[in-house]
Amino acid sequence: MIYTCTITPSIDYTVYVPEFESGKLNRSEEVYYYPGGKGINVSRVLKRLGVSNQALGYAGGFTGHYIEEFLKTEGVATDFIETTEITRINVKIKADEETELNGPGPKLTAEQLAVLTEKVRLMNKDDWFVLAGSLPHSIATEYFLELAEICQANQVRFVLDTSGPALESLLTTSVFLAKPNQQELGELFNVEISSLVAAYRYASKLVAKGTQHVIVSMGGDGALLVTKDIALIAKAPQGTVVNTVGSGDSLVSGFIASYAAHQDPALAFRYGVASGSATAFRSDLCRKEDVELLLDQVEIYPFKEKDVTK
Ligand SMILES: Nc1ncnc2c1ncn2[C@@H]1O[C@H](COP(=O)(O)OP(=O)(O)OP(=O)(O)O)[C@@H](O)[C@H]1O
Ligand SMILES: O=P(O)(O)OC[C@@]1(O)O[C@H](CO)[C@@H](O)[C@@H]1O
């Protein structure tokens, strides 16, 4: 089974406005209330790609209830641990530019954290554990390290799509897939990554530390996959961008869905990039038919440092 885990879910209140002026009253006639948070997006896309999975994490209050009901109507299995705190609402403003306002994550008790640990303990070598989204600063990094170590001991495939201080420590454990975007990769090393060569060099450092597959996503420029055996660049398909929120999560879902079926990282990379772009071209997350239409438009070629000028 594939388990996703979102410590900090959200409702993504997504508003489209022709123009957005900060400091003024802006009115929108098109709004959506999507269940969000990175692990939840991974779950929703996996389900759309025909891969059954279960969404774990924490949810509470009327917003948490809304998320659970929404996922139920889409056929996504959930097993959230209830919080007394209301799950956050993240605001996504779609105007000429995309502006986001994300709320803080929940404050969790030791008992609530222990419930998740016990769920992870029950996973085995046929399972995947996808830890995605921000990890509240109030939770010690050691807690997440313990989850990673349990995965390692039980040969659970551990996928990481998070940012912040815990990420660096977690990347010293046995990670199956990490998907930082360019900025997140830079933050890990305290550098700005502005070229493919730099992305390759820093991704290689993560591979050297033990991460099996590193995908550096680069928005409309595509993505880079580095493993100990291969380095591939994917150019993203062209299209009309509607809403890029969740495109990185869709990349992760597409990679996992294809890898679980074929165990071929290059194939999975193509499927992942097509999934990411298919989401960028929709208001909500991608559907399987969108992904399959884009597959042939993803150009993939080997990365060779000497051939790359930027
Ligand atoms: N403008 C775009 N045009 C085409 N494809 C895009 C565009 N933006 C994103 N994508 C696709 O989605 C993938 C992931 O995008 P990105 O690097 O923005 O992820 P991210 O920063 O993790 O996003 P998020 O956190 O919103 O999920 C890219 O590798 C690409 O395939
Ligand atoms: O605040 P975090 O946890 O870093 O990111 C949360 C979030 O921006 O990420 C998803 C898109 O990737 C959205 O659904 C959600 O609102």
Query: Quick check: 242 pLDDT over 60?
Result: yes
Query: Quick check: 309 pLDDT over 80?
Result: no
CA 229 to chain centre: 24
Residues 253, 129 share a domain: no
Pairing assessment for the beta strands 213-217 and 177-178 based on DSSP bridges: parallel
Residues 309, 268 share a domain: yes
Residues 190, 97 share a domain: no
Ligand 2 is surrounded, with C-beta below 6 A, by 8, 10, 12, 36-38, 41, 90, 102, 133-134, 245-246, 248-249
Where among 127, 144, 175 does a domain terminate? Answer: 175
Catalytic hit among 249, 264, 284, 307: 249
Quote the number of domains for the chain: 2
- Give the start-end residues of each E strand in the chain: 2-6, 10-16, 30-36, 53-60, 77-83, 89-94, 98-101, 128-132, 157-161, 177-178, 213-217, 223-226, 231-235, 299-302
pLDDT score for 218: 96
ipTM of the predicted structure?
Answer: 0.97
**CATH number where 181 lies:** 3.40.1190.20
Query: Quick check: 187 pLDDT over 70?
Result: yes
**Separation between Cα atoms, residue 156 and residue 150, nearest integer Å:** 8
pLDDT score for 305: 77
Residue nearest to atom 12 of ligand 2 (CA): 246
What value does the mean pLDDT of the chain take?
Answer: 95
Query: Quick check: 306 pLDDT over 90?
Result: no
Identify the band that residue 86 occupies on the pLDDT scale cut at 50, 70 and 90. Answer: very high
Residues 143, 13 share a domain: yes
Residue nearest to atom 12 of ligand 1 (CA): 276
Q: How far is the CA of 93 from the centre of ligand 1 (A)?
A: 17
**Separation between Cα atoms, residue 199 and residue 145, nearest integer Å:** 25
Where among 175, 202, 234 does a domain terminate? Answer: 175
pLDDT, average across residues 180-187: 94
Percent of the chain, pLDDT > 90? 92
pLDDT score for 163: 83
State pLDDT tens for residues 33-81: 999 999 999 999 999 999 999 999 999 999 999 999 999 999 999 999 9
Residues 77, 3 share a domain: yes
State pLDDT tens for residues 247-274: 999 999 999 999 999 999 999 999 999 9
pLDDT score for 307: 64
* Residue 247 to residues 10, 92, 150, 208, Cα–Cα distance (Å): 16, 14, 29, 27
Residues 234, 115 share a domain: no
* Annotation says 249 is catalytic: yes
Amino acid code (one letter) for 115: V
Note the ligand closest to the C-alpha atom of 280: 1
State pLDDT tens for residues 93-113: 999 998 999 999 999 999 999
Residues 234, 142 share a domain: no
Residues 304, 223 share a domain: yes
The tokens for 29 are 């006639």
Residues 70, 6 share a domain: yes
Task: Give the side-chain half-sphere CA count within 13 A for 22.
Answer: 6
State pLDDT tens for residues 208-239: 999 999 999 999 999 999 999 999 999 999 99
Residues 111, 15 share a domain: yes
Question: Which ligand 1 atom minimizes the distance to the CA of 183?
Answer: 21
DSSP code per residue over 98-150: EEEEPPP-----HHHHHHHHHHHHT--TT-EEEEES---TTS-HHHHHHHHHH
**Separation between Cα atoms, residue 179 and residue 202, nearest integer Å:** 13
What phi-psi label fits residue 31: left (phi over 0), alpha (psi between -120 and 50 degrees) or beta?
beta
Where among 124, 143, 175 does a domain terminate? Answer: 175
Query: Quick check: 196 pLDDT over 60?
Result: yes
Residues 130, 194 share a domain: no
DSSP code per residue over 245-263: TTHHHHHHHHHHHHHHHH-
Q: Determine the structural domain holding residue 300 and report its residue range.
A: 177-310
